[in-house]
Structure 1
C-alpha cells in the first residue's frame, strides 16, 4: 500500500485543474479534496437527475469520488478531468440502476387450460363475469 505524504497541508486553492490532478496522482489528498470541493455539486446534480432520490444520489456521489481516488492514476489527460469524472459518475449511476431495478418475471400460464391453477382460473372467470356485466355489448371472444 502506498504511503501518503504527512507533510503539512498546502493550500491548493491557487492551483489549476491540471496541477491538482497531477498532485492527486502523486498521492496529495489535499489536492484531491480541492477537486472534490470543485466538482461535488455538479456530480451530485448530474446523478440526482438520473436517480431522482437525494439519499441515493448522495451515496452514489460518494462512491464516485472514492472510485475516482482509487483510479486517478488511470486518468491520462486526453479529456478534461470533469469529462472523465462525469463518465465515472454516469457508470456508477447506471450500475446502481442495474442493481436496484425491480425484477419482473413473466408467468406463462394458459388460463384456459384445464390444468391451470384453480385459483388463477377462478380469478379469470370472476374477471370475465365482471367485465361482461360492465360492458354487456362486448365481443363474445373476451368472455370465456
Structure 2
C-alpha cells in the first residue's frame, strides 16, 4: 500500500517508472499547495489552477529533487514560484501572505482545522491579522517557520540565505509580531494571559 511509504520511497518508485505512485504524493500535499496558492490570489479557481500547475512542474522535475531537504520544502518553492509567475502573467496584485481567505480555504480543505473551537479560531484570526500588519519579508518568515513547519536550514534554502541569518531575521520578525499584537490587540492579548 502506497500510503505506508515515505516521500523518499514514493519518489524513488516514481522515478523508477512506477508513475502511478505520484497520485499518493499529490494526495499528501494537495491541501498544502492549495493553501500556498491561496496566499497569492483571492480566486479559488486561480488557486486550483496554480496548484495543478505546481504539481505538473514538480512531476516533470522530480528527478531533480536531490533529497537534501524535505520534499515539502522543494514543493513549497515550486508552488511559490508558480504562484508568482501566474500572477505576473495575469498582471494581478500579489496579496498579503495571510489574508483571511487563506485560512477560510484551509478550513474548508483540511478537516483538522474544523475541530478548532470558535475561541481558537478567533485567536488564530487575531494572530493572522497581526501577521498581515508585518512587512512581506517578516510575514513570509513567520509563515514558513510556524505554518509551513520548515526548519531554519530549509527556510535558508528557500530564501537563498544562510540559516544563521534566518535565525536572526526570524527573531526580529517575532519581536515585531509581538509589538503589533500588543499595539493592535492589547485587550485580546491581555485576555489570553488570564
* Residue 63 of structure 1, aligned match among 15, 38, 53: 53
Equivalent residue number for residue 38 of structure 2? 48
Aligned match for 1:38, one of 22, 25, 28: 28
Of structures 1 and 2, the larger Rg is shown by 1
Provide Cα deviations, 1:68-99, integer angstroms capped at 9, x if missing partner.
11110100001100100010000000001111
Are 2:76 and 1:86 aligned? yes
> For 2:90, which of 100, 113, 117 is the aligned residue?
100
* Aligned mates of 2:84, 2:17 — CA distance in 1: 28
Query: What is the rounded CA distance, in whole Å, between the counterparts of 2:33 and 2:25 in structure 1?
Result: 11
Q: How far does the alpha carbon of each residue in 1:87-115 deviate from its partner, in whole angstroms, 9 at most, with x for none?
A: 0000000001111116xxxxxxxxxxxxx
Aligned to 1:117: none
1:12 maps to 2
Q: 4+ residue runs of structure 1 moved beyond 3 angstroms?
A: none
State the Cα distance separating 1:30 from its structure 2 match. Answer: 2.3
Give the SS at the match of 1:51. coil
Structure 2 unmatched runs, 5+: 93-194
Rounded to whole Å, the distance in 1 between the matches of 2:28 and 2:16 is 19
| Greater relative CO (CA pairs within 8 A, separation 6+) | 2
Secondary structure, counterpart of 2:40 in structure 1: helix
Structure 2 partner of 1:21: 11
Question: What is residue 75 of structure 1 aligned with on the other side?
Answer: 65
Q: How many residues of Structure 1 are paired with residues of Structure 2 in the alignment?
A: 92
**Alignment check: 8 A CA contact 1:48 1:54 kept:** yes
Q: Could you tell which deviates more after superposition, 17-26 or 90-99?
A: 17-26
Matches of 1:44 and 1:28, distance apart in 2: 25
Are the aligned partners of 1:68 and 1:85 in contact in 2 as well (CA < 8 Å)?
yes
TM-score normalised by the chain length of structure 2: 0.46
